[in-house]
Amino acid sequence: MTNTVQTSDLQSLIHRAAKEAGAITQRYLGKPLKQWDKGEDEPVTEADIEVDEFLRSTLMAACPDYGWLSEETADNTDRLKRKRVWVVDPIDGTRAFLKGRPEYTICIALVEDERPIHAAIYNPMTDELFEASAGEGATLNGKSIGVSVREQIEGCRMLAYGPMFKHPAWPEPWPEMHLENPNSVAYRIALVANGKFDGMMALNWKSEWDIAAADLIVTEAGGLATKHTGEPYAYNQSKSTRHRSIVAAGPELHQALMKRVSHLKLP
C-alpha cells in the first residue's frame, strides 16, 4: 500500500483530525459516561475510546504505511520497523475531561527518525489549537507564538506540582514562583510554548503520547523540552514508551532549571 497524503498536506490532515476529535469529546460533556480504571488510578472513558478509533481510522486511512502508537490502543511493536509513526493521546487529561474543566487536549504527533516532524495539540473547551511543523515555527490558532525570555526562576510562572518544590531532599530551597498544574501534560507544555507560562517541570514518568506533540511545538516556539538530565527525547526507539521526566522552558530559564535538577538520581 502507498500513502495517499503528500508531505505538504500532512499538517492539514492533523489540523482537521484534531478539530474533529475535539468535537467528538464535546458531545460527551455533561453526560453520564462509561468509564474504567486502567490501573495506577488512570481513568479511561468511552469518549477516549471513540476519539482513539476516529483518529486511528482517519490518520491510518490517509497514511497506511505509517506506524501507530496511542495510549488507548494495544501496542503493536511493528511500529518500530516504520520510518514514520503516529503518536497520539486521544484525550490527555481525562480527569479534567470528566470534571468538565477546560484543561484536556487532543494530541497528535507524526514522528520520523526519532523526532516529531508535525504536531497539533487541541483544547476543545477553549478552542486553542497549537501546531508546529519541523523548521517552520509554532502557531496558536494560526498566529505565530514564542516562549518567554525569562531567565530567573524566582518569580517565574511555573506549571508543576507545587509540593514537589517543598520536598526536604532539595539541597537548597526553591525561590518563590507562581505555580499552577493543569491536568494535561501536553497543555502545560503548550502554554509554555506561547509564553503564557515561563516553564514546566515534572519529575515522574511520562509516556511518548504525553510529550511528542508538545516537544515539537515548544521547540519550534524557541524553547527546549528535555529530560531532567538535559537529554533530548528520542521517540519510537523501543518497546518501552516511557520517559523519566520532563523540563520545558525558554533557553535561559531551562539552563537555570538544569542547574537545580540535572544532578538528581530519580528512582
Give 185's pLDDT tier (boundaries 50, 70, 90): very high
66 pLDDT above the threshold of 90: yes
Answer whether residue 177 is part of any domain. yes
**If pLDDT is split at 50, 70 and 90, which confidence band does 266 have?**
confident
Q: What is the domain range of residue 217? A: 157-261
- Cβ atoms of 257 and 247 within 8 Å: the answer is yes
End-to-end Cα, the chain, rounded Å = 44
Residues 36 and 139 in one domain: yes
Query: pLDDT tens for residues 5-39?
Result: 776 699 999 999 999 999 999 999 999 999 998 87
| pLDDT confidence band for 3 (50 / 70 / 90) | low
Residue 47 gets the label, from left (phi > 0), alpha (psi -120 to 50) or beta, of: alpha
Are residues 140 and 18 part of one domain?
Answer: yes
On whether both 133 and 60 belong to a single domain, the answer is yes
- Residue at 76 is within a domain: yes
Q: Choose the final residue of a domain: 100, 122, 144.
A: 144
The answer to whether residue 118 sits within a structural domain is: yes
Tell me whether residue 252 is exposed, middle or buried, using C-beta atoms within 10 angstroms of its C-beta: 0 to 12, 13 to 18, 19 or more.
Answer: middle
Give a yes or no: residue 161 inside a domain.
yes
Q: Are residues 48 and 70 in the same domain?
A: yes
User: What is the rounded distance in angstroms from the CA atom of residue 233 to the CA atom of residue 40?
Assistant: 24
**Which pTM value belongs to this model?**
0.96
* Same domain (yes/no): 122, 206: no
- Residue at 88 is within a domain: yes
CATH code, 213: 3.40.190.80
Are residues 129 and 239 part of one domain? no
Q: Binning pLDDT at 50, 70 and 90, where does residue 41 land? A: confident
Tell whether 238 is covered by a domain: yes
pLDDT digits (tens, 9 = 90+) for 187-246: 999 999 999 999 999 999 999 999 999 999 999 999 999 999 999 999 999 999 999 999
Band the pLDDT of 42: cuts 50, 70, 90: confident
Q: Which CATH number fits the domain that encloses residue 71?
A: 3.30.540.10
Asked if residue 266 belongs to a domain, the reply is no
224 vs 267, which has greater pLDDT?
224
- Contact (Cβ atoms closer than 8 angstroms) between residue 169 and residue 186: no
Residue 2: is its pLDDT beyond 60? Answer: no
Based on the fold, state whether residues 99 and 25 are members of the same structural domain.
yes
Same domain, 127 and 186: no
Q: Give CA separation, 24 vs 78, 82, 105, 129, 212, in Å.
A: 29, 29, 12, 15, 22
Q: Considering the domain boundaries, does residue 267 fall inside one?
A: no
What pLDDT, in 10s, does the model give residues 85-109?
Answer: 999 999 999 999 999 999 999 999 9
> By C-alpha distance, which of 203, 202, 241, 245 is closest to 88?
241
What is the mean predicted confidence (pLDDT) over 153-175? Answer: 94
37 shares its domain with 64: yes
Q: Give the pLDDT confidence score for residue 119 in this predicted structure.
A: 98
pLDDT score of 4: 57
Say how many domains are in the chain: 2
